Amino acid sequence: MNFEFSAPQRILFGPGTLKQAGPLARGLGRRALIVTGRDPARAAPLLDMLKAHGISAVVFPIPGEPTTDMVRRGTARALETGAELVVGFGGGSPLDSAKAIAALAANGGDPLDYMEVVGRGQPLLKPSLPLLAIPTTAGTGSEVTRNAVLASPEHGVKASLRSLTMVPRLALVDPELTFDLPPAVTASTGLDALTQLIEPFTCNRSNPLVDALCRAGIARVARSLRRAWADGRDAAAREDMALASLFGGFALANAGLGAVHGFSGVVGGMFKAPHGAVCAALLPHVMAMNRAALQRRQPRSSILARYDEVARLLTGDADAVAEDGVAWVRELTTALGVPSLAACGVANSDVPVIVERAAVASGTKANPVELTRAELVEILEGAI
């Protein structure tokens, strides 16, 4: 068995850890670019802490899911202000943007020089600017991953910048930062976390370290996502979800994902839809199809038993089998009011284009079994 595992140099986890942002950032430099979500006012307490530690900060807000152009502008801002460090504060969009900006500010060039699939795929050779990642949602795990997902509007898809040099130097995970998330965001980000635990656990590149994190993370989502959605101030549930998100980040970065993320990258590039909602709509269909395809073509695959184990972790029932897990995910998605793909604007006429693009997406490569075009069509039509 061979595997490797990458992680930030330090991870600080726990309620109230935001207070440590000042001294941590001061250890990385004196001039910071702070990449936030669309409302930079949410970062005001952070900015006060940085100021108190003698750090001059320039704020760069990301107004939605990041594009190549936003990253170009953020990189220019980092260079013209002489930023010595980058702080990402927010959901997956600002964190991914911060990682891309920290990489490009150090390496020079354009995002498309380095991006997978749509770009030239050159390696990022120089270390990124030091990066402190502070998530304020519980879903993407971006604070510990090595890629940044960017939309390329000229290509109409999302694709990644990916390099070991992009793993943030420091990750600070304070579950209290997620208390104010509205229920719809709790649902979509939490279901992204769940997908990012189930896909690595059942992918073709898993390893024992990732497996342990996935088992622990899936159980936490199962017991806490509904509670965090119903009561955002349920501290124990928020802590579980922040941990599940962190574990999912480790899992996807160190194993891989599957067809849900292959599809969701394509759909997210073509439609304005929350990433987690797209994943949630696809997840039960991909689980069911992967299992059926494995039974047909690789009946001895050890992954088949893993779908039964996922079902036991989700339902808490020692006798549960794969179908029960699929049904559990479906029920949860309905209970949390996650919109269907149709509600996100996806129509049956879009199926051929989405399937062609998803078949070559990087997420699809670690799917436990190669799916045929007909199987991909069936999944997508089911999710619409």
Other CB atoms within a 10 A radius of the CB of residue 208 amount to 9
Residue range at the interface with Fe ion (CB under 5 A); choices 72-80, 121-129, 188-196, 280-288: 188-196
3 state SS of 232: coil
In the complex, least distance from residue 148 CB atom to Fe ion, rounded to whole angstroms: 13
Please state the separation of Cα 342 from the chain's center in Å.
Answer: 22
In the complex, least distance from residue 233 CB atom to Fe ion, rounded to whole angstroms: 26
Choose between 143 and 192: whose C-beta lies nearer to Fe ion.
192
Q: Going by C-beta distance under 8 Å and a sequence separation of 6 or more, which residues neighbour residue 269?
A: 151, 152, 155, 156, 157, 158
In the complex, least distance from residue 149 CB atom to Fe ion, rounded to whole angstroms: 8
Residue range at the interface with Fe ion (CB under 5 A); choices 123-131, 170-178, 190-198, 298-306: 190-198
- Stretch 136-165 residues interacting with Fe ion (CB under 5 A): none
- Stretch 247-276 residues interacting with Fe ion (CB under 5 A): none
Choose between 40 and 141: whose C-beta lies nearer to Fe ion.
141
Choose between 78 and 253: whose C-beta lies nearer to Fe ion.
253
Query: Which residues lie across from 148 on neighbouring strands?
Result: 161
What is the SS3 assignment for 275-291? HHHHHHHHHHHHHHHHH
| Cα separation values, 366 from 25, 150, 248, 303, 359, Å | 36, 20, 15, 12, 12
Can you tell me the distance from the alpha carbon of 31 to that of 33, in angstroms, rounded to the nearest whole number?
Answer: 7
In the complex, least distance from residue 252 CB atom to Fe ion, rounded to whole angstroms: 7
Give the binding-site size for Fe ion (rule: CB under 5 A): 1
Choose between 96 and 309: whose C-beta lies nearer to Fe ion.
96
Choose between 116 and 308: whose C-beta lies nearer to Fe ion.
116
Residue range at the interface with Fe ion (CB under 5 A); choices 65-73, 192-200, 235-243, 300-308: 192-200
* Chosen residue from 143, 174, 192, 240 binding Fe ion by CB under 5 A: 192
Residue range at the interface with Fe ion (CB under 5 A); choices 16-24, 184-192, 353-361, 371-379: 184-192
Choose between 192 and 378: whose C-beta lies nearer to Fe ion.
192
In the complex, least distance from residue 321 CB atom to Fe ion, rounded to whole angstroms: 26
Query: Which residues lie across from 11 on neighbouring strands?
Result: 171
Which two tokens mark 335?
Answer: 């209970």
Q: What angle do CA 158, 161, 136 make, to 5 degrees?
A: 80
In the complex, least distance from residue 264 CB atom to Fe ion, rounded to whole angstroms: 6
In the complex, least distance from residue 188 CB atom to Fe ion, rounded to whole angstroms: 10
Choose between 40 and 248: whose C-beta lies nearer to Fe ion.
248
Closest-by-Cβ residue to Fe ion is 192
What's the chain's Rg over C-alpha atoms? 20
Other CB atoms within a 10 A radius of the CB of residue 20 amount to 15
3 state SS of 239: helix
In the complex, least distance from residue 278 CB atom to Fe ion, rounded to whole angstroms: 9
DSSP 48-76: HHHHHTT-EEEEEE--SS-BHHHHHHHHH
Q: For residue 286, count CB atoms less than 10 angstroms from its CB and return exposed for 0-12, middle for 13-18, buried for 19 or more.
A: buried
The amino acid that residue 336 corresponds to is L
The answer to whether 150 touches 106, Cβ cutoff 8 Å, is no
Check residue 67 and report its DSSP letter.
Answer: B
Can you tell me the distance from the alpha carbon of 360 to that of 364, in angstroms, rounded to the nearest whole number?
Answer: 7
**Site for Fe ion contains 65 (CB under 5 A):** no
In the complex, least distance from residue 102 CB atom to Fe ion, rounded to whole angstroms: 21
Choose between 17 and 97: whose C-beta lies nearer to Fe ion.
97
Choose between 95 and 106: whose C-beta lies nearer to Fe ion.
95
Residue range at the interface with Fe ion (CB under 5 A); choices 115-123, 191-199, 291-299, 359-367: 191-199
In the complex, least distance from residue 261 CB atom to Fe ion, rounded to whole angstroms: 6
Residues contributing to the site for Fe ion (CB under 5 A): 192
